[in-house]
Amino acid sequence: MKTSPDQLNFNNRFGRLPDVFYTRLQPIPLDHPKLVAVSQNAADLLDLELGDSCKQQLTQIAGGSRVPESADPLAMVYSGHQFGSYNPQLGDGRGLLLGEVTNDKGESWDLHLKGAGMTPYSRFGDGRAVLRSCIREYLASEALFHLGIPTTRALCVVTSDTPVYRETEERGSTLLRIAKTHIRFGHFEYFYYTQQHDALKTLAEFTIQNYFPQWLNKDDKYCLLFKTVVEKTAHMIALWQANGFAHGVMNTDNMSILGETFDYGPYGFQDDFNWHYICNHSDHSGRYAFSQQPDIGYWNCGRLAQALVPLLDDASALQKILDSYPTLYSDKYLSLMSEKLGLREEEPEDSELIRDLLQQLHEQHLDYTLFFRALSNYQPGQASSALMDLCSQPDPLKQWLQRYDERVLRNSEPEQQRHQRMKQVNPKYVLRNYLAQTAIEKAETGDYSEIKQLMTVLKSPYDEHPDLEHYAQKPPEWGKKLEVSCSS
Ligand code: AMP
Ligand code: MG
């Protein structure tokens, strides 16, 4: 049954945990909130009917002036490793968990308001978010979802007349985020490093009870929990790599315990493929470069393992589970890349074929998305102009294609069928940085139409959209040099 935001059925289970887990407080309203964008797909998760009155209520809720009656807003406390160093005091410095909503199917969804004003965890910040960062999160969460990558979702973005000061004056804005959970690796680290081992245990029990109830009575439930986190994290990162996505700030406070892409900041999609792509302008050492993401995922799981040690009599089990990460990651990555290449029935040389292709893409600065889409139409022996036009040095690619020809012929599958399969995993449209930037620049003048139109292709990235072909093009020169930093 369709409902309105005011009537959402909040269950507020996190708020029933002891108060060492959070600080209860209300959002601080923005001046004259205006709805910038709203996602019907995300609204469906909460059974919301997106009519005018629903949009009005959402604007007020996101603007902080209205809190649904049964909601119980709170700021969560957590800590985490940022750029490799432990930061003992983080927490929701500019966001509030409004509560968890149970939908008609009985699913529970967290509703989180990002940009809701100062909290006890704001440190030196103002508790606010700006329009550009809210739009970036909105576009990316919906884009990744439609690419099949586990992610938090975005219900709507609101902006306002409230001034917020970054490098220049900007508009205070908010994002209403929907997610299965807001529990981060950093939650566990906080209770481990503050030596609150009872709370640590309560948190682990809460996580198991709500997300993995089947293990509640198992002796090794904490190991099972860790094993799942490791698996989900390895899978998520393999999907990032296969889709050319760089997160940009893989601090442990930005890692969801359910392996969903979380806390979008200075992320980026590959245009011209570069192994060492650094999307975060503030990442001077390249710690979170594209090529580093799989290893950082492993390192982050190690930090979580450390935090779980007090829960186990024999902590060596955690190390064993952690040791499974590299294989879990590379098996998943190999299978995703094999699908992108249209390979069937794994063969021993497949890894080498994939690696050599990526080397070509890297050396020739080939556009990652356009290349794989063009390969999805390629016929062995007939290097199409669509493919060849992409590269500056055709010969090495032709040599690679000869090997590829032999390999796909062994698929013993009709050509058409392979093309069909490949087009379902090689998107035509991805959220290129310059596309997000164009939508942001228009929105900053009060024109939100570009966000909506861009969303049309991001919602069905594998389909052809003949009227919107321009979204499938390489970035213009200005769009290659955009710099995105943590300041948001
Ligand atoms: P993020 O870089 O968004 O993952 O944030 C890292 C930490 O800084 C979290 O504890 C955030 O809540 C906090 N934070 C980020 N921006 C602000 C802000 N403008 N005001 C207060 N806290 C912030
Ligand atoms: Mg964060």
On whether the CB atoms of residues 263 and 256 are closer than 8 A, the answer is no
Mean pLDDT of 410-428: 95
Nearest to 213 by CA among 200, 201, 197, 224: 224
| C-alpha to C-alpha distances, 117 to 19, 104, 175, 267, nearest whole angstrom | 20, 31, 12, 24
Residue 324's pLDDT is 98
Return the residue matching tokens 């290659």: 480
Q: Quickly state the pLDDT bin for 305 (edges 50, 70, 90).
A: very high
* pLDDT for 384 beyond 90: no
Report the C-alpha gap between 227 and 237 in whole angstroms. Answer: 16
* Residue whose CA lies nearest to ligand 1 atom number 5: 93
Find the ligand nearest to 134 CA.
1
Residue 350's pLDDT is 97
For the chain, give the mean pLDDT. 96
Return the residue matching tokens 């982050």: 300
CB of residue 254 inside a 6 A radius of ligand 1: yes
Catalytic residue among 110, 253, 263, 283: 253
**Tens digit of pLDDT for each residue in 436-461?**
999 999 999 999 999 999 999 999 99
For 272-302, what is the HEC assignment? ECCCCCCCECCCCCCCCCHHHHHHHHHHHHH
Report the C-alpha gap between 4 and 158 in whole angstroms. Answer: 18
- Residue 254 Cα, ligand 2 centroid: separation in angstroms? 5
Question: Strand 245-246 and strand 80-82: pairing?
Answer: unpaired
CB of residue 263 inside a 6 A radius of ligand 1: yes
Mean pLDDT of 327-337: 98
Report the C-alpha gap between 380 and 299 in whole angstroms. Answer: 41
Question: Which residues are within 8 A (CB) of 100 and not within 5 positions of it... i.e. 6 or more apart?
Answer: 10, 11, 12, 13, 14, 108, 109, 110, 111
DSSP string, 333-394: HHHHHHHHHT--S--TTHHHHHHHHHHHHHHTT-BHHHHHHHHTT-BTTB--HHHHTT-S-H
Rounded to the nearest 5 degrees, what angle is found at the Cα of 339, between the Cα atoms of 407 and 231? 130
**Tens digit of pLDDT for each residue in 425-438?**
999 999 999 999 99
Find the ligand nearest to 256 CA.
2
- Residue 328 Cα, ligand 2 centroid: separation in angstroms? 26
Q: Quickly state the pLDDT bin for 238 (edges 50, 70, 90).
A: very high
* pLDDT for 485 beyond 80: no
**Tens digit of pLDDT for each residue in 150-192?**
999 999 999 999 999 999 999 999 999 999 999 999 999 999 9
* Residue whose CA lies nearest to ligand 1 atom number 11: 93
Find the ligand nearest to 255 CA.
2
- Residue 119 Cα, ligand 1 centroid: separation in angstroms? 11
DSSP code of residue 154: E
Report the C-alpha gap between 442 and 444 in whole angstroms. Answer: 5
Active site residue 253: yes
Q: Would you kindly state where each structural domain of the chain is located, as residue ranges?
A: 5-185, 341-423
**Tens digit of pLDDT for each residue in 117-143?**
999 999 999 999 999 999 999 999 999
- Residue 57 Cα, ligand 1 centroid: separation in angstroms? 26
Q: Quickly state the pLDDT bin for 386 (edges 50, 70, 90).
A: confident
> Amino acid identity, residue 36?
V
Residue 483's pLDDT is 79
* pLDDT for 283 beyond 90: yes
CB of residue 120 inside a 6 A radius of ligand 1: no
